[in-house]
Amino acid sequence: MSNSVNENTKIVLGIERLSTLFRAALWDEAKQCGLSPLQVQIMLFIASHTQTLNNVSCLAKEFGITKATVSDAVRSLLGKKLLKKQSAGDARAFSLHLTTSGHKLVEKLGALTQYFDEALTAIPASERKKIWEGLLLLIGHLQKTGVIPLRMCFNCQHFSERKGAPYCNLLQQSLHLEHIRLDCPEHLLAA
Ligand code: SF4
């Protein structure tokens, strides 16, 4: 087995461990709120995205599951009065929004990132930057394969270069590493 294969295996295993930690936190939070993990993910997604993405089709694409599964979870959240529908113009199309109770619930879901927040805060800023650079590199490559849907600067119509540095034409600012977005609400997929 070559060194690069060994390294790849270790990196993938590391990501798998982190993902297990996140899933465990997700299950805990979901149980405490009386929701399923998918319902929690839907609530968090709707809280942080614009209404054009907050519909059953986009949610199914985002989570890589069927529309029927999303519809079931959404129906339950509507029944619990955590979400409400709003017409999106055509009679059958609608976007999903948080109700007041939904907003309150989302505020309580902060514990999901608590483990990571605490660990990252303990790491010096220069080392944190290296972690971010590594993540951007990996996610950028995955994005090219289309494996994960991302609204990221590197495939955005507004992304350009100015004086040899990445630049956002919409926000009119240089995109230093710390400004690169993985899930930008203004993202427009480049042709
Ligand atoms: S609009 Fe958002 S995703 Fe697009 S380049 Fe600007 S910051 Fe990046």
Q: What is the per-residue pLDDT across 8-33, written as a single tens digit (0 to 9) for each?
A: 999 999 999 998 988 888 888 889 88
Residues 87 and 41 in one domain: yes
pLDDT at 4: 66
32 domain-assigned: yes
For a mutational test of ligand 1's pocket, the pick from 171, 173, 177, i.e. the residue with the most ligand atoms closer than 8 A to its C-beta, is 171
- 181 CB less than 6 Å from ligand 1? yes
- Whether residue 72 is predicted with pLDDT greater than 60 in this model: the reply is yes
Residues 42 and 63 in one domain: yes
- 30 CB less than 6 Å from ligand 1? no
Residues 54 and 92 in one domain: yes
CB–CB of 151/183 below 8 Å? yes
The full length of the chain comes to 191
pLDDT at 141: 85
**Which DSSP string do the residues of 163-186 spell out, in sequence order?**
TTEEEETTTTEE--GGG--SB-TT
191 domain-assigned: no
State the residue range of the domain holding 159.
Answer: 123-179
Structure-model confidence comparison of residues 1 and 177, the more confident one: 177
Nearest CA to ligand 1 atom 6: 168
Tokens of 116: 């990571």
Structure-model confidence comparison of residues 144 and 130, the more confident one: 130
What is the arithmetic mean of pLDDT over 145-156? 79
- 186 CB less than 6 Å from ligand 1? yes
Structure-model confidence comparison of residues 1 and 161, the more confident one: 161
Report the domain count for the chain.
2
pLDDT at 35: 94
- pLDDT per residue as tens digits for the range 32-54: 889 999 999 999 999 988 888 89
- pLDDT per residue as tens digits for the range 51-71: 888 999 999 988 889 999 999
What is the arithmetic mean of pLDDT over 123-151? 86
188 domain-assigned: no
